[in-house]
Amino acid sequence: MSSILERIVTYILGGLLGTAIGVLTNSFKLPIFEGEGMSVIIVAVTTILGLLASIIIIEAKSQAVLKHNNAIRDETVALITHEMRTALTSTGWAIDMVLKKYSQNLTPDDAELLKDANGSIKQTVMHSVNLLDISMLDIGKLHISLQWTTLDKVEQMFHEVMEKYNLGATKNGIKLVGDIKLDHDRKAEVDMMRLRIVLENLIENAFQYIGTGKKEIDVTISNDNKNMKIVVKDSGIGIPAKEKDKIFSEFYRASNARKALGSGSGIGLYTCCKYIKAHRGTLAFESKEGEGTTFFATVPLNTVADVDGFLKKI
Ligand code: ADP
């Protein structure tokens, strides 16, 4: 940002330069500028143009500085988050190794403690991946690592996630129902950690916006011939019709959600949408205010034969 002094000096210089150009133009006594009061008008017009030019220059300079500072901030956040994630991942591996190598010597309580610590580390790694992706999105450098995965791996991830949220559901009087029907021999190109972030985000939102009514959440994953489909349905506060088209925008929170829950970032769905698009899938929802919301995410599938064919081509 330009300092006030710098702004004032630039405006004065711009004005003076404009006045000088006006006086100089008058000194040529050009026939087209002849006439009563013309010299005053010319000086006035060139002075105003000089002032306008100085305003434009100052604004352009401020924008350039702001853009540069934002880029430095985003790169720094990305770098720190990356370092954090690497450190956490190695700590997680170290705990895993201790658990495997010394399992005989550990008391059940100690083993449980280490498992909990590892669970928290994995969760923090996921959050840092998400944080890193958000800053990468800002600088247009989101990279996700898609790998051909059989759907039984998705099923395994689904059970882990459901287990994680079951306890919270019971505590909060929420009926959480999970149902998974996947053809295990099918494959999809998936970044499992990001897909898990999407699933967890949709379930967490369903928890957050469940309201005070009947409190039911259904999570279903299934597939047809073309797609794997994740559906998270809740009986919560819903999304106001007028605000539906803004729900995937960065930082957007619907008015009823802000009222129901003071905290929230409006960044979760925005990132989920980018993740699913990177899987060449779709993310959509249906909702009625006061009745509930259903989110649908799809990820395209290939049969094993198709995948092999695809892999031969690259
Ligand atoms: P946050 O939950 O932190 O506000 P999100 O990006 O996850 O941010 O969601 C954006 C907005 O979408 C929420 O603020 C809320 O208005 C709306 N929303 C998302 N999921 C639901 C849901 N299951 N029920 C009602 N509103 C929802």
Does 265 score more than 50 pLDDT? yes
Q: Which residues pair with 288 in a beta bridge?
A: 292
Q: For residue 266, report the distance from its CA to the centre of ligand 1, in Å.
A: 7
239 touches ligand 1 (CB under 6 Å): yes
Q: Which residues contact 209 (CB under 8 A, 6 or more apart)?
A: 234, 236, 237, 257, 260, 261, 293
Q: What is the pLDDT of residues 136-178, one digit of tens each?
A: 777 777 878 899 999 999 999 999 999 989 988 998 999 999 9
Name the least confident of 42-56, 81-95, 231-245. Answer: 81-95
Q: What is the pLDDT of residues 301-312, one digit of tens each?
A: 975 555 455 544
253 touches ligand 1 (CB under 6 Å): yes
In this prediction, residue 306 carries a pLDDT of 52
Give the whole-angstrom CA distance, residue 207 versus residue 168: 9
Q: Which residues pair with 218 in a beta bridge?
A: 177, 233
Which of 92-96, 271-275, 291-295 is modeled with the greatest confidence? 291-295
Average confidence score pLDDT of the chain? 88
For residue 254, the ligand 1 atom closest to its alpha carbon is: 16
pLDDT band at 190 (very low <50, low <70, confident <90, very high): very high
Give the whole-angstrom CA distance, residue 199 versus residue 217: 13
